[in-house]
Structures are given as structure tokens and as C-alpha cells.
Amino acid sequence: MGEYARSLAIARAASGRWQGAAIHFVLSREAPYAADAPFPATLLASSPTFHSAAVIRLLETWRPHVVIFDNAGRTAQLRAAQRLGARVVYISARRRQRRKAFRWQWMRLIDEHWIAYPEFIAGRLRFFERLKLKIVGRPIVRYLDVILSRADPAQRGAVLSRAGCEAGTFVLVVPGGGTGHPGAHDAVGQFMAAARALAARGVATVYVGPTSARAGTAAIDEVGEANWHPLGPLPQADLVELMR
């Protein structure tokens, strides 16, 4: 539950290492990726953060061994997971979520707290964080590098061929594919408009993401069209290869 791309990378890695593992996602049905999720999923009207009753019913029915809350979650949800005997992992990628994970109440509910950046980026544990850990005796805190799917090097050639570009010759624009945020519902359209403006100036531009944004529908000339390479949403492993 939470940040989908990172959770999907973890799920794929887990299924590769433990091939008998049963994996289940809880997603908003409004998210563009929900219909194509490669694992079984429970779809809710909006973010699982706002539907504790449904999340807790799923936990009670399914009784997982491990529950991962990625940058999201409610106290009642964490408490239910712990009550049912699950190990609780909480991933924080922002200061606000890190502070939540170091609240006294949450520290007693979380088994492992993964900070989703290396220590030199996220910052070392502060004095009061270390003091709380010493007093409570939990959770285990781990700093992680950026979490991305591992790809087969052979995929690079395939995805570059699909993009119609060679490595090092294009600009990659990725607005993200999640649901809109308050005050930023047109963000994807602005990214697409910027990408198409680059293409119109003769810059080879590969665009990965929703292609229905209104701001990106403006016409561009033949030069722009020749440099415009929209791919739509991609599996994370393919996106990683384009980034590499």
C-alpha cells in the first residue's frame, strides 16, 4: 500500500526470490495503473489511506505474514496488521513520513522502518531518533538506496528500438502516472506540453506516461513530429533502462 512503483519493484523481487509467495496490492481504482497491476489487487474508491475499514477487513481475511506500508498508512491499519501477527514494514521517503514513523505509538507497531534513500541524502539519525530507538528497542531502521526493478541488459536494446532513438541522443520526460494531487491536476499536461515544445525545437524527445493530457494536444510541425516519441506507460524495468 502506498507508493506503487517502489512497492511493485519490491513485489517483483520478492516473487523472484520466493516463488511460492502470495502477493496482494491494495490500490485506488482511480489510479491509471490499477487495471494493469500484475499481482492480485483489492481496488478501493481512492487511496487505501482513506479506507481503513476495508483495509482491515482484507487483513483479517487474508492474514498476511508481512504488510508493507510505503509512505502511507493509518494507525488503525498498522495496529490491525500487528494484532493479526504480521510483520509491519513502513517505508518513509519524505521528512513528514519519517517523523510519523518515529512517533512513540508507531514505533511500537513497526517492525522495520526503511528510509528510502541513502544516509547521505536522507540524513543520519538525529539525537532524539536514536534516543527513542534506545528506549523503545524497535523498530529496526535501514537506509536503502533508490529501489528500482532489476532489468536484463538485453532489454535496453529492445526499449531503445521501440523508442526509435539511440542511447545518449534524446531527452526523456516522465511526469509519473499516479492520480492527481490537489492544486496540481494539470501537472501531466504541463509536462507533455514542455516535451512537445522540445520536440518542436528539433530535440529528440521520448515521453513516458499518460498521452491523453489536454495540454499536450497542440499540433507541431513535421520537424517536431519526427522528434516526438511518445511511448505511453512502460513497465518499470523498461523505464529504468531508458534512464540508464
Please report the pLDDT score of residue 140 as a whole number: 98
Whether 119 shows a pLDDT value over 80: the answer reads: yes
pLDDT band at 221; cut points 50, 70, 90: low
Whether 206 shows a pLDDT value over 90: the answer reads: yes
DSSP per residue, 72-124: ---HHHHHHHHHTT-EEEEEE-SHHHHHHHTSHHHHTT-SEEEESS-HHHH-P
Please report the pLDDT score of residue 217 as a whole number: 53
Name which residue leads in pLDDT, 81 or 148: 81
Residues 46 and 159 in one domain: no
Boundary residue ending a domain (123, 143, 163): 143
Residues 125 and 158 in one domain: no
Write out the residue range of the structural domain in which residue 203 sits: 154-243
148 falls within a domain: no
* Closest CA relative to residue 112, chosen from 92, 85, 83: 92
**pLDDT tens digit string along 145-185?**
877 776 677 777 888 888 888 888 999 999 875 556 667 76
Please report the pLDDT score of residue 212 as a whole number: 67
The torsion region of residue 166 among left (phi > 0), alpha (psi -120 to 50) and beta comes to beta
Give the mean model confidence (pLDDT) for residues 45-63: 94
All cell numbers assigned to 42 = 483489492
Residues 118 and 174 in one domain: no
pLDDT band at 68; cut points 50, 70, 90: very high
The torsion region of residue 11 among left (phi > 0), alpha (psi -120 to 50) and beta comes to alpha
Contact 216, 196 (CB under 8 A): yes
Q: Is 150 helix (H, G, I), strand (E, B) or coil?
A: coil
Domain containing residue 203: CATH number: 3.40.50.2000
Boundary residue ending a domain (82, 114, 143): 143
**pLDDT tens digit string along 82-105?**
999 999 999 999 899 999 999 999
Cis peptide before 139 (omega within 30 of 0): yes
Model pTM score: 0.73
Domain containing residue 64: CATH number: 3.40.50
* Closest CA relative to residue 244, chosen from 163, 142, 177, 187: 163
Give the count of domains, the chain: 2
